[in-house]
Structure 1
Amino acid sequence: MDKDKYLEKCFKGEIIYGDNFDVDEIKNWFEMEEEGYSSLETIELEDLNKNIYHYHQLNKSYGFKYIDSIKSFQNVLGIGSATGIEFEPIIEKIEKLYILEPSDVLRENKIKTLDIHYEKPTINGEINFENNKFDLITSFGVLHHIPNVSFVMSEIYRVLNNDGIFLFREPIVSMGDWRENRPGLTKNERGIPIKALKKIIKENNFEIIAENYCFTLTTPLNKIFRKFSKNPIYYYKFYILLDKLISKILSFNIKYHTTNKYDKLYPQNVFFVLKKRNLD
C-alpha cells in the first residue's frame, strides 16, 4: 500500500496509524516519545508536580467503581502511570505496584506508603513479566502514544492473570493531523479508532465489563470554566456525571477525523473495563 493510501485509511479510522511499523520506525517513534509528555508545558504537568491529579473523579466513575467488591490485588501494573498518583483511590487494595514508565523525570519512590517498582518499556512493546502476573492493569491515556497498539494489547492480555481486570481510557479521535505541529500534544500521539480498538479487544478474547464514552464538548467548556476555577471542569464529579449522559446520547455520532472545528459534537474518549477470560 502506498503512503498516501495508507494515510487516507488511517484518517478514515479504518486502521491505526503506526500499528504496522517496522523495527526502525518503532525505534524512531519511541525515541521521540520517551520524554515527549514530560517535556510539554501544560497545566496538567505543572499540577502533577504539585501532587495534584485531575482525573480521580473520572477514574472512579468509569473504572474503579467496577472493582469495589475486590478486596485486594496482589500485583498491579500501571502503564505510563508516572508518579503513581492515579492509584491513590485504591491504594489500600494494592499489595505490590509496578509501573512501566518511559520517562526518568515523572517518577516517585512511593505513593503514600506503597513502594513503586519501575520498569522501562521495551522499544518493541514487549512487557518483561511472566504470563498471568498481574491481577489489575491500568492504562489511562497512554496507548495512543504507542505505535504498535495491537501488539501491546496482546502483551497486556498475556501478563494479566486469569479473571484479571484491565482498565483503560483512550482518545478515539485523530487529535488533529499528526504530520503537523499540534500545541500541547507530543509529536506522534493520535487517537485510536473505536472500531479498530474493539477489533483488538475481540481478537485478544477480552470480556467487556463496561464501555463508556466521555469528554464531549469538554475542551471548549473547560476553556470557559478555567477562567473561574483553578481546576479543570473534569476535576469535579458533577461534570463527570453530566458528561457521561451527554456522551452516551451522542456516541452514535463519533467521527475519527474532521477538519471542521464545528463538527465535533461527539465523545472524544472511551473508557473500557475489560476482564481476561479464564480459558483453563
Structure 2
Amino acid sequence: MNETDPKIEDALRGATLYGDDFSLDEIDAWFADEKEGYAKLDHADSLTDVYHYHALDAAYAWNFLPPGQLDIIGLGSAWGSEFKPLADRVRSLSIVEPAEKFWRNDISGIPATYIMPNANGRLPYKDASFDVGTAFGVLHHIPNVSQVLREMARVIRPGGRLFVREPVTSMGDWRKPRHGLTSRERGLPKEFIRNLCDRMGMELTAEQLVGFGPLLNLAFRFGLIEPWNSSNFVKVDSLLSRLTEWNWSYHRTGFLRRFAPTVGCWVLTRQGDAPGGS
C-alpha cells in the first residue's frame, strides 16, 4: 500500500471512504488481502453460534421492525444468530455469507437459505424481494460499500427497513500493521450513510452513535465480556455516547479523542408506501 497515496490521506481525514471507488481488479486484490490477513491473525472466526449483540440490536434495530411476517436478508450474518429473537416474525431468511462453515438450513426453527456474495456487490434477487435487510459489522471489511448498500436497498420493499451497524472510526492507521486487524478493514465516517441515503432511495429513520470507548474498556476490565447483551449497559453507553458525540473524529491520533462513540447504528426506510403486514 502506498503510504503517500492522496486517496488514503483524504480517507484518514474522514472526507471519503477508502476503497469505495475501487475498480473490480482492486476489489479482487482487497478480498485476497482480507482472506490472507485473517489467516495470519491470532484469533480465528468462532465455531459456535454465540452472539454478543442481542441487547444492542433490540435497542437500535428490532424496535423499528415493520409489521407482520417478514422476509429478511442478512449480509455477512455468519450463523445468523442475530435473528433468533425474531423466530416468530420471520417468513423467510436469506443470508449472503462467504464462509461456508457458517451455512446451515435452520436457525432456531427459521428455514435459512445461504448464498455466496459477488465481489461486485450484485445480489441475485428481484427488486423489492425483502421486508428487512441487515448489515451488522460487515461493511468495514468490504471495499465497494456504496454499491453493496445500493444493492441491499434495491431488494428492500417500499416501507421496508435496512439496518446497518458499523465502526465509525478509521480503526487506526491502515498503512501500518494493527494488532488484531487485517490490513484493509476500516470504519465508515459517520456522515457516510446519511450522505448515501438519497442515492439509495432510502430515508434515514434513526441514527445513533454508540460504543463509548472508555466504558467498553472498563466493562472488559471488570469481566463484563458481553456488554452488548446487557440492556443496562446499552442505556448507560447511549447516554455517554450522546454527551461525547461532539468530540467524535474519524482518525483518532490523540488520547482525548478516545472519549467519544465508536460505532454507528442506522435505520433506513425504503421510500414509498409501506407494505401491508400478513
Q: Above 0.5 in TM-score?
A: yes
* Residue number in structure 2 paired with 1:59: 57
In the alignment, the residues of structure 2 paired with residue 65 and residue 174 of structure 1 have an alpha-carbon distance, to the nearest angstrom, of 29
* Residue number in structure 1 paired with 2:175: 179
Contact 2:211 2:237 in 1 (8 A): yes
In the alignment, the residues of structure 1 paired with residue 134 and residue 97 of structure 2 have an alpha-carbon distance, to the nearest angstrom, of 12
> Measured at CA, do residues 56 and 279 of structure 1 come closer, stay the same or move farther in structure 2, by a change above 3 Å?
closer
2:265 to 242, 265, 271: 271
Output the amino acid matched with 2:82. Answer: E
**Does 2:136 align with 1:140?**
yes
Please list every run of 5 or more consecutive structure 2 residues that lacks an aligned counterpart in the other structure: none
Output the amino acid matched with 1:137. Answer: G
Task: Give the superposition deviation at 1:3.
Answer: 5.4
Contact 1:225 1:233 in 2 (8 A): no
Which shifted more, 130-139 or 102-111?
102-111
**Does 2:217 align with 1:220?**
yes
1:231-279 deviations in Å (ceiling 9; x for gaps): 3322211111100111112112210002224421111011011100017
The count of residues paired between Structure 1 and Structure 2 equals 271
* Residue number in structure 2 paired with 1:200: 196
Q: Which aligned runs of 4 or more in structure 1 are off by greater than 4 angstroms?
A: 34-43
1:154 to 150, 154, 162: 150
Contact 2:244 2:260 in 1 (8 A): yes
Task: Give the superposition deviation at 1:110.
Answer: 1.4
Task: Give the superposition deviation at 1:38.
Answer: 8.4
Contact 2:134 2:162 in 1 (8 A): yes
3-state DSSP of counterpart to 1:199: helix
Output the amino acid matched with 1:125. Answer: G
3-state DSSP of counterpart to 1:165: strand
In the alignment, the residues of structure 1 paired with residue 155 and residue 76 of structure 2 have an alpha-carbon distance, to the nearest angstrom, of 16
In the alignment, the residues of structure 2 paired with residue 274 and residue 151 of structure 1 have an alpha-carbon distance, to the nearest angstrom, of 16
Output the amino acid matched with 2:56. Answer: L
Q: Tell me the percent identity.
A: 34
1:66-125 deviations in Å (ceiling 9; x for gaps): 12x62311x210000001100011121111110000112223221012221001110111
Task: Describe how 1:251-266 pairs up with structure 2 within 5 A.
Answer: 251-266=245-260
In the alignment, the residues of structure 1 paired with residue 182 and residue 273 of structure 2 have an alpha-carbon distance, to the nearest angstrom, of 39
Contact 1:79 1:99 in 2 (8 A): yes
